[in-house]
Amino acid sequence: MSPRPPTPVTKAEIVAEAKRLGAVLVGFAPVGRWAEQGDLSWEFDPQRLWPLTKTVIAIAIPSLLPVTETRISPVYRAQYTNTNQLLDEIAYRLSAFLSRQGHAAFNICRDGYGEGVMKIRPIAVFSHVWAGHYAGIGEVGWNHCLITREFGPRHRLVSVLTALELEGDPMVEEGSLCNKCQRCQKACPTQAFSGNRVKDRRSNMNKFACFSRREKFKTVQHCGYCLKVCPVGEDRKLYQSPKVNHYFAERTALFAENNVPLDPVYPLKL
Amino acid sequence: MPRTVLTNTEIIAHARELGAEMVGFAPVNRWDDFAEVSPEFRPRAIWPLAKTVIVIAVPLWLPIVEAAPSQLGRELYIITNELLDEAAYRLAVFLNGHGHAAINLPRDGQGEPEVLAETPTAIFSHVWAGQLAGLGVVGRNRALLTKAYGPRQRLISVFTDLELEGDPVLTDDWCGDCHNCETICPPRALTSPPGKRLADFNLAACAGEGKRLRAAFRNPCGFCIKVCPVGEDRQLFGCTNTRKYFDEAAVLAANPHAPEYQDWLHIRKYGGFPLPEDPISIR
């Protein structure tokens, strides 16, 4: 049983299908960029995961700023869950779109871990952040998130691996989005980031420190300070929230009173 | 509500819009004609108004299936289940909107794995429905084998009171005598009595393995679907050598860095817990 011959598919058609399925940012990374750029070890090269990979299609959808600003809250958690499900569906259906036309493709789920696994191995099978970097939809910033022109680091990512060769999108010029202001480092409740902004391209990140916070807030999990304080992103203008310094003042105010840190908006012990 | 005429073609187009890759139609009398499913599991016993069963399938990607057990495989299972349940529900609502009563049956669902020990049967067999709707043929491993994906797909069904022409039931016999599924099954849940085309299935053994992998966030097992040589997806994904699955343990025991297995080892390593009692290749 041999498959039908492949039908030609253009980048424009793939982008249109991805957007029809709900994608907002879509970029294409030729697989050679992983080795050329040398940011990751061979273990995390897409061809290690699937030797036939020729192109990685990176897809992002935004995390909405006013929700992200609520930091540890049920609405933030709900946004996280909903965007994850949508991303997985987009990437799965885009893989089916390519495979049914004779171009082998499959989706790598958004960062997925079984509960408690991050305590022993806080690394995902594949870095969607670096895929987004090589696909030109943003650059990896000081906080190890993909910083995009549209949403800063406030988005979620997923990837499709395909055996179809496609022209890569131009990568974002280094330093053009993240100027290493280090607000993420200052805001991080776990001091997960460290480094020298003159010498280092991006911070050192202690993932165990970062994930320790998720363990602490089991029911509402996600922290996201390093996302909300980032001044980059056209979403700041859209949501009329251009300034970031009040985030720092808020934290001080919440912790000041009798050392009983209650959030008046979401009455949840911090 | 006025009944609007709907054709098979219109229903297929809508199902595909909702994410279905394969769609087939089975008139309910086929369950009586073929008599492979016991009477209490036939569509009219479950819902007396049923006239046609619409069966929908979505594929599982071979490069992920063959790396099992992995958390990535577990996520693929969850993604496809969610997509199927939503597509079937929305297809039922679409039919209702045109005046045709319809209900979706959930994709195979059991609560915790323990439920299988007490009630080792789903409410309805989507696998037999898939065969009666012409999507494929039931294989030795009791999965539906399709031309495009072999046994590597997930299935769901919609019952409707709308009479629709059935798709031709396939007479091809893709499932031969390779017994790969039976040989590879880690808990030995499949055993073929001599001369029988379908294996006897020890569901408790299969469910026990599923439970063990689930505790590590690395279910399902799926060895019986990865080894099946049927399916155009084997060529599409460049995985035509099924011998590789059987050689794996010996090759890796001799050389844990054997390059041809490093992709699977990588996928198994992340996102779930190690399985220390397993051979090095699975761990």
Residues of A with CB under 8 A from a CB of B: 1-4, 43, 48-52, 85, 88-89, 92-93, 95-96, 99-100, 102, 104, 106-109, 112-117, 120-121, 123-125, 163
- Classify residue B156: in a domain, yes or no: yes
- Dihedral of the alpha carbons of A90, B267, A212, A160, in degrees to the nearest 10: -20
Taking contacts as CB-CB distances below 8 angstroms, the residues of chain B near A117 are 71, 217, 271-273
Predicted local distance difference test score (pLDDT) of residue A270: 38
- Classify residue B208: in a domain, yes or no: no
**With contact defined as beta carbons under 8 Å apart, do A192 and A209 qualify?**
yes
Check the CA dihedral A209-A212-A213-A214 and report its sign.
positive
Taking contacts as CB-CB distances below 8 angstroms, the residues of chain A near B147 are 1
Q: Do A49 and B21 touch (CB under 8 A)?
A: no
Cβ neighbors of A73 (< 8 A, separation 6 or more) are: A220, A263, A265, A266, A268
- Classify residue B281: in a domain, yes or no: no
Cis bond leading into B43, ω under 30°? no
User: pLDDT tens digit string along B12-64?
Assistant: 999 999 999 999 999 999 999 999 999 999 999 999 999 999 999 999 999 99
Residue A260 has pLDDT above 80, yes or no: no
- Classify residue B212: in a domain, yes or no: no
- Classify residue B96: in a domain, yes or no: yes
User: Which pLDDT band, with edges at 50, 70 and 90, does A256 fall under?
Assistant: low
Percent of chain A with pLDDT over 70: 87
Residue A267 has pLDDT above 50, yes or no: no
Q: Do B61 and A95 touch (CB under 8 A)?
A: yes
**With contact defined as beta carbons under 8 Å apart, do B190 and B151 qualify?**
no
Distance from CA of A47 to the nearest CA of B (A): 8
Predicted local distance difference test score (pLDDT) of residue B228: 98
One-letter amino acid identity for B50? Answer: A
The pTM is what? 0.94
Q: Angle CA(B269)–CA(B270)–CA(B273) in degrees, nearest 5?
A: 80
- How far apart, in whole angstroms, are the C-alpha atoms of residue B63 and residue A95? 12
Taking contacts as CB-CB distances below 8 angstroms, the residues of chain A near B148 are 3
Taking contacts as CB-CB distances below 8 angstroms, the residues of chain A near B74 are 112, 114
Nearest CA in chain B to A127: B270
Residue B273 has pLDDT above 70, yes or no: yes
CATH code at B24? Answer: 3.40.109
**With contact defined as beta carbons under 8 Å apart, do B180 and B140 qualify?**
no
Distance from CA of B46 to the nearest CA of A (A): 31
Q: Do A109 and B72 touch (CB under 8 A)?
A: yes
- Classify residue B186: in a domain, yes or no: no
Q: Do B83 and A93 touch (CB under 8 A)?
A: yes
Residue-range definition of the domain harbouring residue B97: 8-160
Q: How many domains does chain B have?
A: 1
User: pLDDT tens digit string along A41-90?
Assistant: 999 999 999 999 999 999 999 999 999 887 667 888 889 899 999 999 99
Distance from CA of A78 to the nearest CA of B (A): 17
Predicted local distance difference test score (pLDDT) of residue B39: 95
User: pLDDT tens digit string along A107-156?
Assistant: 999 987 888 888 888 889 999 999 999 999 999 999 999 999 999 999 99
Q: Do B270 and A51 touch (CB under 8 A)?
A: no
Predicted local distance difference test score (pLDDT) of residue B115: 66
One-letter amino acid identity for B104? Answer: N
Predicted local distance difference test score (pLDDT) of residue B110: 60
Least confident of A203-212, A252-261, B79-88, B120-129: A252-261
The complex's ipTM works out to 0.94
Percent of chain B with pLDDT over 90: 85
Q: Which two tokens stand for residue B30?
A: 């086929």
Predicted local distance difference test score (pLDDT) of residue A269: 37
Where along chain A do its domains lie?
A: 1-270
pLDDT, chain B, mean = 93
- Classify residue B40: in a domain, yes or no: yes
Of B65, B89, B67, nearest to B270 by C-alpha is: B67
- Classify residue B257: in a domain, yes or no: no
Task: Report the run of H or E that residue B236 belongs to, with start and end.
Answer: helix B233-236
What average pLDDT score do residues A244-261 get? 66
Taking contacts as CB-CB distances below 8 angstroms, the residues of chain A near B229 are none
Q: How many residue contacts between A and B have a Cβ separation below 8 Å?
A: 104
CA B280, chain centre distance (Å): 28
Nearest CA in chain B to A118: B271
Distance from CA of B239 to the nearest CA of A (A): 10
Q: Do B21 and A96 touch (CB under 8 A)?
A: yes
Looking at chain A, how many residues does it have?
A: 270
What average pLDDT score do residues A163-168 get? 98
